[in-house]
Chain A
Amino acid sequence: MKSWLTTTDHKRIGLLYFWTAFVFFLLGGIEALVIRLQLAQPSGHVVSAETYNQLFTMHGTTMVFLALMPLSASFFNYIVPLQIGARDVAFPRLNAFSYWVFLLGGLFLNASWFVGPLFKAGMLNVAPDGGWFGYANLTERQFSPGPNIDFWLLGLQILGISSLAAGFNFIVTILNLRAPGLKLMRLPVFTWMTLVTQFLIITAFPVITVGLVFLMFDRFFGAHFYVHGAGATPLLWQHLFWLFGHPEVYILILPAMGIVSEVLPTFARKPLFGYTVVVYSGILIGFMGWGVWSHHMFAVGLGPIADSVFAATTMLIAVPTGVKIFNWIATLWGGDIRGTTALHFAVGFIAMFIIGGLSGVSHASPPADLQQTDTYYVVAHIHYVLFGGTIMGLFAGIYYWWPKMTGRLLSEPLGKWHFWLQFIGMNVAFFPMHFIGLLGMPRRIYTYSPDLGVSDLNLVSTVGAFLIAVSLLVFIANLWRTRSRGETASNDPWGGATLEWSIPSPPPVYNFSVIPTITSRLPRWRTELHAPMQDPPATPPGPIHVPGGSWWPMVAAFGLPLMALAPLTHTLWLAFVGAGVLIVGIYGWAFEPFEV
């Protein structure tokens, strides 16, 4: 127990990220099921309007910040150091700090479900209710007087610190800790996409932090950053939010694209087609993601010039995305494809993500978007991108790397059941939403009129959501069964080309008994020019130093939610206590003896 609380081992932190994010993923999923129950029929009465608004706000916030980003982070943590031949990340204690801040930030946000009585309100009354996008000026104190929005803006600031710390850590790790010979253009694509993602995180999160700080000053100190009566405009929030929000979409999708780029070559027994093009497309997407934010704002009246420019940039970003898809198909073409569960999910990613990409092109066109934005058509789009894309990709990664992470293979038959149920479930749940939106149902409404003619389609969608839930139960059963009865994994159960397959499953604490020297992009495969590398010996030739555990990252992390409690409860002294804990944590951390 203590060894897990004080761990600085990237592999353990990776597993902590996985389990924590998976629990939040289930929580966000339960929120989605209640939403779908409410909408299963017109004029539904499962929950009240107030509760519904909290549910969709927390569903979006949870899935983006507490489930998908940290599930990707669990692979950054576990797999990236192994793929670059490193013993750990560059700053192991900072890594632990990132995890604890993420956990505490997630608990802080979700505590809002239960602490209503402390704010003289009922349970289920003070959770954030302004949407995951939190548009000003609805979020101003005048229109949202309760603590709901406070939980949201403080929770997101805490989580941002976790993401930023991890971002810097992984950039330094990938740039500085690569094994000898592992040039940048020999990096596995997953590591490349991780690197691009981290640059997006460290550049995009400061933008939303600025927006949140403005909002905090408006709500707590009577500033007027988003108050039009004081000469400002609430549109400032939308610009700041989407300037963060669109890169955030790529923060969510690029890691999954990286996973797919690892899984397809392994099971097609062929190198990734067009490696250079795929890598440069990812980098280009990272840059172009900064020039498209106003496509979320075509209805706000930016004028025809701005609309045209953002339509053009948005359509352009489809090009590198399309290029990736064609390269993946070309990777499969001419291969010897093994139909493992991981491959099923990777192919599912391509098949579903393309639907989200194409509906995306239809609202890249501003006039068409005026009919689509804020309707269920966009809900369909985002779920084909983030569920059909990101979640499919993440499950491909889970089935692919689970044997490496735990030493046991997940059951393939159960995995296939999981895949097909989830694949069918998501299409039953999300495809009808295209029609529901085109037939005029706005999103974020807790009730709709039977006259709209979308009642049956909504019922179908709800059935699909429950099919997804069943598929996840199969996955949980698979995890449970694998704990004791899963087949033991060898170093390399799949015949992978990259470094993580050259060491035991799970790897020893020091990862590599001898740091390998890399001469090829596919070090473990025979290519025209290179023989496969020699795997490191089973036992290290000499002693290997690994850093011991530390309590200090966790102590420092506790300072942040304590500080956040001060504005939340209007208790000034808590701010000093929190700052004190943070300072003590950092001090202890800085002066900790090197050997414990």
Chain B
Amino acid sequence: MTDTSRVRLWLVTLALALSGCAGPFPQSTLRPRSDFAQATDSLFTDIFWWAAAVFVLVEVLLVVALVRFRHREGRPAPKPAHGHTLLEIAWTLAPAVILVFVAVPTVRTIFTSSGEAPADALKVEVIGHQWWWEFRYLDLALTTANELHLPVGKPVRIGITSADVIHSFWAPLLGGKRDAIPGQTNYIAFRADSVGDYSGQCAEFCGVSHANMRLRVIVDSDTAFGAWAQAQLGPPATPPKASPAEQGRAIYARSACIGCHLIQGVSAGVIGPGLTHVGSRTTIAGGILPNDSAHLAAWIADAPALKPGSLMMRMKPPLSDADIAALVAYLQSLK
């Protein structure tokens, strides 16, 4: 971290401390954890200091003028001054020169952060849906939802598109956002520099539940990532005989669930997120709820109550509590 950005972080922290706020700020743009985020952050730091200097200059001049030239009895009438050519040239050139100092690193960063990545980069396709994220690992033939696992220190190239309306993929600690536009693929590329669990969310207004379209990026060590990918590529868990989970699978197979969701070997829906390994995810419902029995049950019973506008409708006729409990057991068994 550069000195200046440390001062800036300190200023922000101070402001937050004054407002009685604490916390790790999981979506802070000021805590870069990748080369891409680092590049944009140091650019912003440069601009911030130029802006701060101009701000102080203008406000000081303004206050000095107001105090020094305020009306006093007996002050002689001001000398009419219509202008001053040299001054005009000076304060036209000065901002122009400052802007050159901003523009040069800007253009350099535009080209270094335009989404180009080495050929061996891990390629992931991100597809925005109302209101969840689909992640496809192109080289691994692997698809998951809402939680993106990436290996630390490896170059990653993410292609971003949409299945319906315009969304925007954004995990602030790992870098800036790019819009997910139907019929077009935008790219970002980065190398995450530390293992961790990074949160993000959709940044382009995309309808009723725009606020409920969150995501997590889990940056794993190389071995952890390999193990995770291996597990994801496997078939879904088979519930033991006569367990609640097996009963749940039967209910799943005869309910409307199969129209939208994919569980390999059980159902082939493509509208909603795939559930083959849903039990391995830490959240459900587009990253807004923890993946535990209570939330899963509430979600199955009435998704639109938890996420307005959700395309996963209330079951008609409603499932019994026992059926829901069995379904929950089944889904949780799909590690």
Contacts and interface: CB of A to CB of B under 8 A. Distances in A.
B88 A438 contact: no
Given A333-B69, A456-B20, A233 B62 contact: no
A358 B59 CA distance: 13
A338 B107 CA distance: 46
Contacts of A332: 62, 65-66, 69
Interface stretch (A254-262, A312-320, A504-512): A312-320
A228 B43 contact: no
Contact of A304 (B66, B114, B166): B114
Interface string B236-248: 0000000000000
A202 to B, nearest CB: 29
Interface string A113-156: 00000000000000000110001011000011000000000000
B82 A273 contact: yes
B12 interface: yes
Contacts of B111: 304, 308
A335 B41 CA distance: 43
Interface stretch (B117-125, B201-209, B262-270, B273-281): B201-209
A308 B95 CA distance: 19
A330 B88 CA distance: 10
Given A270-B81, A329-B58, A362-B47, A367 B203 contact: no
Contacts of A9: none
Contacts of B107: 308, 311-312
Interface stretch (A48-56, A407-415, A536-544, A584-592): A48-56
Interface residues of B, number: 97
Contact of A135 (B16, B166, B203): B166
Contacts of A300: 179, 181, 186
A234 B71 CA distance: 57
B102 interface: yes
Nearest to A230: B183
Most chain B CB atoms below 10 A, which of A274, A275, A303, A365: A365
Contacts of A334: 69, 78-79, 81
A49 B208 contact: yes
Interface stretch (B150-158, B167-175, B327-335): B167-175
A328 to B, nearest CB: 9
Contact of A445 (B58, B179, B211): B211
Interface string A409-448: 0000000000000000000000010010011111111111
A137 B206 CA distance: 9
Interface string B198-223: 01011111111111101000000000
A439 B173 CA distance: 10
Contact of A315 (B39, B43, B102, B186): B102
Contacts of A441: 27
Contacts of B44: 362, 365, 368, 371
Contact of B103 (A303, A312, A336): A312
A451 interface: yes
Given A322-B95, A453-B24, A370 B211 contact: no
A477 interface: no
B317 interface: no
Interface stretch (B48-56, B226-234, B293-301): B48-56
Of the listed residues A49, A439, A443, the one surrounded by the most CB atoms of chain B closer than 10 A to its CB is A439
Given A432-B19, A528-B80, A440 B27 contact: yes
B69 A53 contact: no
Interface string A345-360: 0010011001100110
A374 B178 CA distance: 11
B126 to A, nearest CB: 13
> Which interface residue of B65, B113, B182, B187 has the most chain A CB atoms within 10 A?
B65
A152 B78 CA distance: 52
B282 to A, nearest CB: 13
A307 B113 CA distance: 12
B51 A234 contact: no
Contacts of B102: 315, 361, 364-365
Given A368-B43, A440-B29, A301 B179 contact: yes
Nearest to B45: A368
A373 B288 CA distance: 22
B2 interface: no
Nearest to B187: A301
Contact of B207 (A138, A275, A308, A319): A138
A112 interface: no
A143 B311 CA distance: 12
B254 interface: no
Contacts of A453: 16, 21-26
Given A322-B95, A332-B62, A337 B179 contact: no
A174 B105 CA distance: 44
B166 A234 contact: yes
A535 to B, nearest CB: 20
A454 B199 CA distance: 14
A565 interface: no
Nearest to A453: B23
A496 B26 CA distance: 55
A374 B27 contact: no
Most buried by B among A138, A327, A447, A454: A138
A519 interface: no
Contacts of B179: 299-301
A386 interface: no
A159 to B, nearest CB: 22
A93 interface: no
Contacts of B207: 138, 143-144
Contacts of B109: 365, 367
B88 A274 contact: yes
Contacts of B288: 449
Contact of B113 (A367, A373, A443, A454): A367
Contacts of A198: none
A291 B130 CA distance: 33
Contacts of B79: 270, 334
A373 B177 contact: yes
B40 to A, nearest CB: 4
Interface in B61-112: 61-62, 65-66, 69-72, 75, 77-84, 87-88, 91-92, 95-96, 99, 102-103, 106-107, 109-111
Given A299-B168, A332-B65, A444 B95 contact: no
A457 B19 contact: yes
A235 interface: yes
Interface centre among A130, A144, A276, A322 (most CB of B within 10 A): A322
Interface string A507-536: 000000000000000000001100000000
B106 A49 contact: no
Nearest to B287: A449
A318 B98 CA distance: 11
A371 B62 contact: no
Among A269, A276, A304, max chain B CB count under 10 A is at A304
A347 B62 contact: yes
Given A319-B96, A439-B29, A457-B16, A336 B59 contact: no
Interface of B: 12, 15-16, 19-30, 37, 39-41, 43-44, 47-48, 50-51, 54-55, 58-59, 61-62, 65-66, 69-72, 75, 77-84, 87-88, 91-92, 95-96, 99, 102-103, 106-107, 109-111, 113-114, 130, 164-166, 168, 170, 172, 175-179, 181-184, 186-187, 199, 201-212, 214, 288, 308-309
12 contacts: A300-B179, A322-B91, A337-B69, A361-B102, A365-B43, A365-B47, A371-B172, A371-B176, A447-B211, A453-B16, A453-B23, A527-B80
Closest 6 pairs (CB-CB, A-B): A370-B176, A440-B27, A228-B183, A453-B23, A445-B211, A301-B186
Given A318-B95, A319-B96, 6 more contacts: A49-B308, A138-B206, A330-B84, A355-B55, A362-B48, A364-B106
